[in-house]
């Protein structure tokens, strides 16, 4: 069961109501709910602010809220002779 489905059950909300709470269309919410689209950082922040949902790297690495990593270095490939 997805985190969105769990929230619907916990707060007794229908999918259309969840979509409205998040400010997104019902069709986009449906794609998020089914896993067809990943949860964006903006949606993750809304879930955190409105429902207290906490994401971590192991659950949803692409949307880990509050963590930004920047690397100025390019990966180096081993030289082959």
Domain ranges of the chain: 3-63
73 compared with 43, residue with greater pLDDT: 43
- The reported pTM is 0.67
Q: Which pLDDT value is given to residue 68?
A: 42
CB 43 within 8 A of CB 22: yes
pLDDT (mean) for 7-22: 96
- The domain 3-63 is classified under which CATH number: 1.10.260, 1.10.12, 1.10.10, 1.10.3470? 1.10.260
Flag whether pLDDT at 9 surpasses 60. yes
Which has more pLDDT, 79 or 3? 3
For residue 73, what pLDDT is reported?
A: 45
* pLDDT of res. 60: 54
User: Left if phi > 0, otherwise alpha if psi is -120 to 50, otherwise beta: which for 56?
Assistant: beta
């Amino acid at each position: 069961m997805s985190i969105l489905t769990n929230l619907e059950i916990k707060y007794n909300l229908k999918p259309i109501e969840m979509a409205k709470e998040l400010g997104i269309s019902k069709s986009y919410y449906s794609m998020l709910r089914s896993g067809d689209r990943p949860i964006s950082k903006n949606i993750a922040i809304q879930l955190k602010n409105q429902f207290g949902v906490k994401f971590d790297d192991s659950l949803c690495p692409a949307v880990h809220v509050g963590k930004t990593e920047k690397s100025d270095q390019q990966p180096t490939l081993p030289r082959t002779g």
